[in-house]
Structure 1
Amino acid sequence: MGITQVNTPEKHIVIIGKGPAACATALSLLREQKNPNDYRISLVSSPESGKPAIGETLPPAATPLMRELGVDQLLETNKHILCPGSISRWGSDETGHNDFSFTPIGPGYHLDREKFDQSLLRHLRQQKVSHIPASLKKVTPCENGFLLGLQSYHGAIELQADFVVDATGIRAAFARRIGVRHNVFDSVISLCAFFQLEQPTEQPAYTLVSTVAEGWWYATQLPGQKVLVSLCSDSSTIRTEKLDSPQHWFDALNKATWFCQQCEQQFGQRLTPPKQIHSRVAPSSILSNVVGQQWLAVGDAASSYDSMTSAGISKALSNGLAAGKAIAEYYQSHSQYPLKRYQQQIFDDFNHYLQLHQQHYQSEQRFPESHFWRTRQLQGLQSEQNTYSKETYA
């Protein structure tokens, strides 16, 4: 089968990825263009992996971002669950409450991630953004940008891009192919299990969080009478305690007495051993360069955070909004300055996140013998004087 050549007009923006960061970048570009035909935007994404989309809580701070992108109505039309806040035990036996009802900017939501992502894609298709289901196989720099070698179900494709946005998540598939280094400060793993509720619960859908020696537990309700329960740990602890085994995972859950009680009270039933554990890596990482000549990275491809922040989607939306503005200003001003300003913001945000990361993990001192907590706390002490910037990785 031969190679299909796709010829496109000037200022063809190719966004590799189809998650919230990719969609937000496309939406931002559409809103920033001065004329209807300033850009041709294409989303390129791999065919479905078969892995279940992990649900996520969207905090109230994301509502203004959705509104600015013109898609806040999608939260109301897809039957996501309102999230009133969180109940947690972190650092002490006292129970903490974070009540979203006191925020003036809107509620939080427990998302059906698959429906949320699909609704963003549908909205973009209505805006004439094309979606190419294909995998990135080759990147060739050329005079007017990049020639992307793609592989679809129907064969090989060559796609000319004037500007490329890497929105491929922590893989940073495009950036790594052009030699950009990926720097990891820390890496945790979420071991997740899904449960089906026997009947609807009338309890408010609070997010539940509790620390244990192995790491920390997280639970949330999802649409469709489903529940997600996750243990965040690290590879060494998981290997030693065999926590990727459904039975060992469930035994560890039962040892987290307060957390188990909260789950049973909120979900209205006892949880049973899961049939399968889903593993998701959550590194604290950043690229050496977030922008370059006619490309930038966005969302987790640019920098990724520990899942304790619950900032995955809101960060993706914020990054995408800023990325779209930076690309538009780059073309309008014929200057690299908008891209460099975007990069500086990504590094500033990452430095601020690392401070929060260290504060959160240092605040839990109840498990002095725990490998998980000792490792995170030692990392914090070693990096207290570090500030991460492009020059750090030069």
Structure 2
Amino acid sequence: MSLFDVAVIGGGIAGAAAALTVAAAGRSVLVIGPQGEAGDRPGEFLSPAANALLAELGLAERIAAGPHRVANATYAAWAAPVLAQRNAITHTEGPGRVLDRRAFERSLTAAVTDAGIPRLGILLAGAERDGALWRLTLDDGTERAARFLIDVSGRAAVVARRFVRRRRADRLVAACDFLAQKTDDVEPTPATLIEAAAEGWWYATLLPDRRMGLAFFSDPDRLPRGLSRDPARWRTMLAETEWTARWLDSAGYRIDGAPRLASAGTTWLERAAGEGWAAAGDAAAAFDPLSSHGLTSALWGGRRAGQGALATLDGDPGPLERYAATLDEAVRQFLSQRRAVYGEVRRFADRPFWNRRH
């Protein structure tokens, strides 16, 4: 049975950051889980704070060369129904980016491959602690062993959830769509628009491939029944907006089908690390998209979990403990900030979606 210093369970952004961190230190690392290219997302923002992490991971040049859009301006009709513009300014940490998510994850996968990190593209069937080792059973019946385990399996947290409870602040869901431009006569504005509505909030952003990413965030019981099969109702919902529909219509974008629904709520583990293991990315904490820091948090968490694993293997538990404590504090701060930001919207205070967040 092959033995590795660290096993990374899952993949994605946090998994790549963790694996690259461990491999760069000369330790053996194995990634377990199907690669599965990310599906379309309604425009994901990589904040300027991520640039330093990309540089630490040796990814800065790969990402800079990718087909991503530099974030320019954001328009918001939030606390008031008036549309306000917030222009992008020069940031000491470099530009933020609206990502082509698939291209971004392909870049991370290529970096992991180039680093010589092995990946087993099958699911983990079981993980048992055996003394100082993890005994890992795969779906094909084979086994591997590792001294440390990093769970980056997304909201499922397939290993970490066995040891700690997962908490939930809400049941926010996203109704997502991607609109193609119906005319070449208009050059779409490279921008993002956020608009509060009676039963949630809208998000629209121009993607690098000129499609428009569109999402409506609400609670399951506030969405029309059968929305994911009802294009007509989806069009009606958009038409009821003050600003979003006007922008999309003026740029030549039209809804053709029904939206896809996905979980988008804030959830987190009560503790993000324990004896011989750590969780990172959505497995550790998944934040309301209003934060715009999900991708940066995944890079940071994967990097810090990898560093914590390395220190633990060298006999120093301090970095792993500090990672877990820092993440715990970040969750507390986010919950407070989330309440304050949602609390700015008083014009819909009597509606269930907003009342639950005030």
TM-score (norm 2): 0.93
Residue 25 (structure 1) aligned to one of 4, 11, 18: 18
Q: 2:338 is matched with which residue?
A: 357
Structure 1 segment 339-350 matched on structure 2, within 5 A: 339-350=320-331
Equivalence map 1:220-235=2 (5 Å): 220-235=205-220
Equivalent residue, structure 2, for 1:368: 349
The match for 1:319 among 274, 291, 301 is: 301
Instruction: Compute the displacement of 1:62 (Å).
Output: 1.6
Aligned length: 356
Q: Which residue matches 1:211?
A: 196
- The answer to whether the Cα contact below 8 Å between 1:47 and 1:135 also exists between their aligned partners in 2 is no
Structure 1 CA distance for aligned equivalents of residues 42 and 253 of structure 2: 22
Aligned letter for 1:374? N
Paired residue for 2:79, among 62, 86, 91? Answer: 91
Counterpart AA for 1:339: L
Closer, same or farther in 2 for the Cα pair 1:71/1:305, shift >3 Å? Answer: same
Measure, in 1, the Cα distance between the counterparts of 2:231 and 2:163.
39
2:185 and 2:282 map into 1 onto residues whose CA distance is: 34
Paired position in structure 2 for 1:385: none
Aligned equivalents of 2:136 and 2:185: distance in 1? 48
Give, in whole Å, the separation in 1 of the partners of 2:214 and 2:142: 41
Per the TM alignment, residue 336 of structure 1 is displaced from its structure 2 partner at its CA by 2.3
* Farther-moved stretch of structure 1 (357-366 vs 91-100): 91-100
**Could you tell me which residue of structure 1 aligns to residue 47 of structure 2?**
59
Deviations 1:189-222 (A, max 9, x none): 0100111224396344111100000100001122
> Per-residue deviation at 1:357?
0.6
1:54–1:367 distance in 2 versus 1, CA, 3 Å = closer
Q: Distance in 2 between matches of 1:50 and 1:222?
A: 15
Question: Are 1:251 and 2:236 counterparts?
Answer: yes
Distance between the aligned counterparts of 2:186 and 2:287, measured in 1? 32
Change (3 A) 1:200 1:166: farther
3-state SS of paired residue (1:101): coil
* C-alpha contact (below 8 Å) 1:192/1:231 kept by paired residues: yes
Query: 2:304 matched to 1:309?
Result: no
Q: Is it true that 1:285 corresponds to 2:267 in the alignment?
A: yes
The TM-score with structure 1 as length reference comes to 0.85
User: Which runs of structure 2 are paired with 1:122-133 in the superposition (5 Å)?
Assistant: 122-133=110-121
Is the 1:298–1:323 Cα contact (8 Å) retained in structure 2? yes
Structure 1, unaligned runs of 5 or more: 1-5, 378-394
Paired amino acid for 1:224 = D
Tell me the amino acid that sits aligned with residue 19 of structure 2: A
Query: How far 1:44 moved relative to its partner?
Result: 1.3
Q: Assess if the C-alpha contact under 8 Å between 2:197 and 2:241 holds in 1.
A: yes
Report what 1:7 is aligned to.
2
Q: Matched residue of 1:186: which SS?
A: coil
Pair 275,141 (structure 1): closer, same or farther in 2 beyond 3 Å: same
> Which residues in structure 2 correspond to 1:151-166 (within 5 Å)?
151=139, 155-166=140-151
Note the alpha carbon deviations across 1:305-342, whole angstroms, 9 max, x for none: 1011111111111112222222222223x132222111
Q: What is aligned with 2:169? A: 185
Please give the alpha-carbon distance, in whole angstroms, between the structure 2 residues aligned to 1:101 and 1:51.
Answer: 30
Letter in 1 for 2:165: R
Query: In the alignment, residue 176 of structure 2 is paired with which amino acid?
Result: C
Aligned to 1:388: none
| Counterparts of 1:56 and 1:316, CA distance in 2 | 13
RMSD: 2.0
Matched with 1:135 is 123
Q: Which whole-Å CA distance do the structure 1 matches of 2:309 and 2:317 have between them?
A: 9
Measure how far apart 1:103 and its partner are.
1.8
Q: 1:50 & 1:220 partners in 2: Cα distance?
A: 18
Alpha-carbon distance between aligned partners in 2 of 1:50 and 1:297, rounded to the nearest angstrom: 20
- After superposition, give the CA deviation of every residue in 1:338-360 in whole Å (9 maximum; x if it has no partner): 22111100101111111111001
Distance 1:47 1:20 in 2: 11
Shift of 1:49: 8.1
Q: Distance in 2 between matches of 1:360 and 1:291?
A: 29
SS of residue matched to 1:159: strand
Deviations 1:270-316 (A, max 9, x none): 42x33231111112121122111110000111111101111111111
Q: CA 1:243–1:367 in 2, change beyond 3 Å: closer, same or farther?
A: farther
Q: Return the letter of the residue paired with 1:191.
A: A
Distance 2:41 2:126 in 1: 27
Tell me the distance in 2 between the aligned counterparts of 1:50 and 1:64. 24
How far apart, CA to CA, are the structure 2 residues paired with 1:366 and 1:251?
A: 21
Q: Which runs of 5+ in 2 are unaligned?
A: none
User: Percentage identity across aligned positions?
Assistant: 26
Give the Å deviation of 1:110: 1.6
CA distance in 2, matches of 1:113, 1:95: 28
